[in-house]
Amino acid sequence: MTKICINAHVSGSVQGVWFRKSTQDVALSHGLTGWVRNLPDGRVEVMMCGEGNAVRQVEAWLYKGPELANVVDVHSEQLVYENVHEGFVINDDADC
């Protein structure tokens, strides 16, 4: 079982529509660790780590997001797995 991390930037109408909370719920249901935060430019940034297939499933979900979201684009890059996160948190701080 290969573990990976993905850093993704989601653009569109993704702030103020429960995107962070929904991402947290979906990530936790897939056993992932990491964080999600709003960016000043209106995008949402997600860092998620875990079993490769689970990470890819949540990455695919980002293209749809929660019901009220209107996702225009997702830009993601795979990173080397690092076990540095505990749980999956909503980060309200602009600096993770």
Options 7, 37, 38, 56, the catalytic residue: 38
Q: Give the Cβ contact number of residue 59 at 10 Å.
A: 17
Options 7, 20, 37, 43, the catalytic residue: 20
d(CA 94, CA 58): 22
Contact 29, 79 (CB under 8 A): no
Establish whether 91 is a catalytic residue: no
Q: Could you give the residue numbers annotated as active site?
A: 20, 38
